[in-house]
Structure 1
Amino acid sequence: MASDQLTRRVMVARLAGLGLAGLLPAACATQTAAPLSGSVGQRTLVLVELTGGNDGLNTIIPIADPLYRAMRPRLAISAGDAIPLADGLAAHPSLAALMPAWRARDCAVLLGVGYPQPNRSHFRGIEIWDTASDAGEILSDGWVARALTQHQRRAIDAVALGRPYLGPLLGPDVAVVALANPQAFAASARTVSVPATEAHATRPAALEHVVRTQARLSAAGATLQQRLQGRPAPEGFPRTGIGGQMATAARLILAGMDVPVIKVSLGSFDTHVFQRATHARLLRELAEALAAFRDAMITANRWDDVLVLTYSEFGRRPQENGGTPGNADSPGTDHGTAAPHFALGGRVRGGLLGRQPPLTDLDGQDLRYTQDFRSIFATLARRWWDISPDRVVRGSFDPVPLFA
């Protein structure tokens, strides 16, 4: 095959069978890898994407506000069921598994997170979060990828578990692996090969990238196999999708793989109808998985080295919708704007951070954001990675008192 005939489609096909198509550069694949340069010491950031747009108002509830119940006559969580937090706010009862972390002050709730001129499209909304862009700005690389390029190169810069969507990890040179399970990656990484008929001088740039990446992947696969051999999966994790992802994240960390960023996902939180049961189940799965992960890290004396951060493309409107006519259990909520998010870790300053958006001061039908999500990313750059925030976000944002 002539070098100019080795197209993107061919390369994706050759790597897709190994589950490694995400390792192609941006010019060669829609899901790419970018080099995550070194992190500080042994620290790992675990990003938890809540896909579909989580309803923040039923996650962290203004339980003392009568407007909450007026806007949600069928979806409102009762005061007797909600878990009291502070300042008139309460947590959804399905978050009970997170309460030990809350009481230990290593769980923070970041209130009213959003940005100006919010976009309610799933696709554009998550793109704004992934790239840390303005609402009207298009950026091509993820905010995490930009941070990672400031550090020493690793064999594996980041790992995406569950949904094979790289999002904030996407960048031109970051080595990101979409990983279903460590053993499968260790086996497939050793079998990646490049056609011997291609002369080095005539290889297209995409193929050259694969050749260079193969050596890193082979070494990473061998290291994975060696470190995981004889190490059982951690116990105590729920048998759910997010539970399995967090168990794999724990296993990678405890095996000493030195992966600076791990991304997991849970969803769908797009609860236009039948929200009550769906939202309760998803929040319970989230809380139980994060609690099991916290326990595993504390037991291994690694909790200070880990930061867990949730995010979602948007929140949902405070007013419930009509649902399905004649079905009292069918109401849901439509795409909205600001929402709370969680941060957990041994170095986290626990408690409520920021200000709850008041129901008396809506932006049309939506909550007004009270802190820009890029303030959180800028804080991570400075405090977690010890790099200049302007390498990660464009513009100046006030720091968030996230760390103790």
Structure 2
Amino acid sequence: MDVLTRRRFLVASGVVGASALAGGAAAYRLNDLLATAGDRDPQARTLVLVTLYGGNDGLNTVVPHADPAYRNARPDLAYSAEEVLRLDDGTGLNPALGGLHRAYGAGRLAVVRGVGYPKPDRSHFRSMDIWHTAQPDRPGTTGWLGRWLDRAGADPRLAVSFEPALPPLLAGERGAGASVPVTEREGPPRLAAETLTALAAVAPDDSPARARAAACFADLGAVDAMVRQVRATPAGEDAEDDGETASATATGGARASLDAQLDLVARCVEAGVVTRVFSVSLGGFDTHADEKQLQEVLLGQLDGALSRFTDRMSRTEAGRKVVVAVYSEFGRRARANASDGTDHGTASNVLLLGAPVDGGLYGEPPSLTDLDDGDLKFTTDFRDVYATLLERVLDTDAGAVLGGWRGRLADAL
């Protein structure tokens, strides 16, 4: 999603005003964060919130492969017991989540199933408003982490987004978090086009090894050209209207890769900056058609980025106090559609990852036979997850932030 469309979505959603978003986004750069190095309590934990924009299909992420209703509902999309990465006799992870599967085996991944809220809404915008504000009945004007920020002193550097615009979840009554651009991160040097073309050329007397190498460089050149073409495409071109005000969250998330965002998070954690909350994102999960392959690609990106990040975090004391929470605005419907995809649904999974996490399966898996008009019925209120993160990671009174909410996740942190 381009920055303009993303910002238009945030402001148009009505969750926060333009002034609150601009206030957090206007003045901060990476150096402003690094200037606070050493200013935080070394015993304090850090929360990294990963938003999967578009509505990730929870049933093909945490797969109930032993349930016959799963295959009956989506025969061409379903994974078999042999394909998934086993968690227990009835449940497995998507084959693309090898790194997270290893984390589960090491006791560092908690899978919270059936997470949702009462009277669910299938609109990307309305549902994301609800997740951001933690107010299912009527989303207010502040985000749940913005309200935490108000109580923590309202310094924008305490809650930082590496997305192109500040998400409403970081907006409070007295202030907002900081939106820090990822453009300061330098990428690896690129080969000149002429050099790449020369390396890709094949001569008649080339050895088989040289010919294979040339083919690889030809592929690299083709991919590079494709990426440049995509980047040059005007924002909004080829977009499809699905009947909503805008299609922002369908392909939303930060423009920079999740790897690049998490690299900056890691640098900040290792430097001991004052920031307690980081918000990052990955988009593209609105899989109405040809879902299986596309979701595997996206989950592979998520898995690779999280695995590299958590491995890096495991090497330092500060890193071992980091908790990552992964969520999406909703799951997908149980039954596949006619286009080998799934449509907007309700309950899904939340993943908690890191050294402080007590790994395992949490929450009851939603029934695939007792549905609400084709949708999964939630079994865990998302405010239980938020309350646990507020108390066990951010050391604050969850009730004061969540309007007196009393639910918690037992033993996950």
Q: Which runs of 5+ in 2 are unaligned?
A: 1-6, 8-15, 26-39, 186-255
Report if the CA contact (8 A) 1:353-1:402 is conserved.
no
Deviation readout 1:198-220 (Å, 9 max, x if unpaired):
xxxxxxxxxxxxxxxxxxxxxxx
Distance in 2 between residues matched to 1:41 and 1:174, nearest whole Å: 26
Distance in 1 between residues matched to 2:18 and 2:105, nearest whole Å: 48
1:44-193 alignment to 2 at 5 Å? Answer: 44-134=46-136, 136-152=137-153, 154=155, 156-181=157-182, 183=184
1:367 aligned counterpart, secondary structure? coil
1:361 aligned counterpart, secondary structure? coil
Q: 1:28 to 1:167 in 2, by over 3 A?
A: closer
Distance in 2 between residues matched to 1:31 and 1:153, nearest whole Å: 15
Distance in 2 between residues matched to 1:174 and 1:273, nearest whole Å: 41
Distance in 1 between residues matched to 2:282 and 2:97, nearest whole Å: 15
Report if the CA contact (8 A) 1:163-1:264 is conserved.
no
Q: CA-atom RMSD, angstroms?
A: 2.4
Structure-1-length-normalised TM-score: 0.73
Report if the CA contact (8 A) 2:96-2:300 is conserved.
yes
Aligned to 2:19: 28
Distance in 1 between residues matched to 2:333 and 2:380, nearest whole Å: 17
Aligned to 1:298: 314
Aligned to 2:12: none
Offset at 1:32?
4.5
2:103 aligned counterpart, secondary structure? helix
Aligned to 1:264: 280
Q: Which runs of 5+ in 1 are unaligned?
A: 1-15, 17-24, 185-239, 324-330
Q: Which runs of 4+ in 1 moved over 6 A?
A: none
2:161 aligned counterpart, secondary structure? strand
Distance in 2 between residues matched to 1:393 and 1:282, nearest whole Å: 32
Q: 1:40 to 1:399 in 2, by over 3 A?
A: farther
Report if the CA contact (8 A) 2:182-2:260 is conserved.
no
1:333 aligned counterpart, secondary structure? coil
Letter in 1 for 2:347: A
Deviation readout 1:276-301 (Å, 9 max, x if unpaired):
11100110111111111111111123
Deviation readout 1:136-194 (Å, 9 max, x if unpaired):
3131000001112222454612211134241211123335222223848xxxxxxxxxx
Letter in 2 for 1:340: N
Structure-2-length-normalised TM-score: 0.72
Letter in 2 for 1:310: V
Report if the CA contact (8 A) 2:51-2:282 is conserved.
yes
Letter in 2 for 1:88: G
Letter in 2 for 1:260: R
Q: 1:40 to 1:401 in 2, by over 3 A?
A: farther
Distance in 2 between residues matched to 1:299 and 1:40, nearest whole Å: 15
Letter in 2 for 1:142: G
> What's the % identity of the aligned pairs?
41
